[in-house]
Amino acid sequence: MIEGVVLFFSPCGRMAHIWCVLNEVPLCLAYREDFPKLWRKLQIGSRVQLRSKPVGNLMRACELRLFAMETAEGP
């Protein structure tokens, strides 16, 4: 699994843009409909672990979990 940080959410709140550490394509999208139970816990700065797959020119998270409950900025 790759570690990443949630950078921002789309204006509609449907997508989280995640910066992935040590990945050849560092930006990945996670969609609310793919992770409904986890979505309410995510916030900007959340540290996550994920697996992704290519969808066109983008990477889409196919597995996502919180790496730590605190954000990258601190508790």
- C-beta neighbour count of 61 within 10 angstroms: 22
Computed over every residue of the chain, the mean pLDDT equals 88
pTM of this structure: 0.83
- The DSSP 8-state label assigned to residue 74 in this structure reads B
Q: Report yes or no: 73 and 47 within 8 Å, Cβ to Cβ.
A: no
| Residue 70 confidence class, pLDDT cut points 50, 70, 90 | low
Alpha helices (H) in the chain, listed in sequence order: 36-39
Q: What is the CA radius of gyration of the chain?
A: 11
39: helix, strand or coil = helix
> What pLDDT digit, counting tens, does each position of 11-36 carry?
999 999 999 987 677 899 999 999 99
Whether 50 shows a pLDDT value over 90: the answer reads: yes
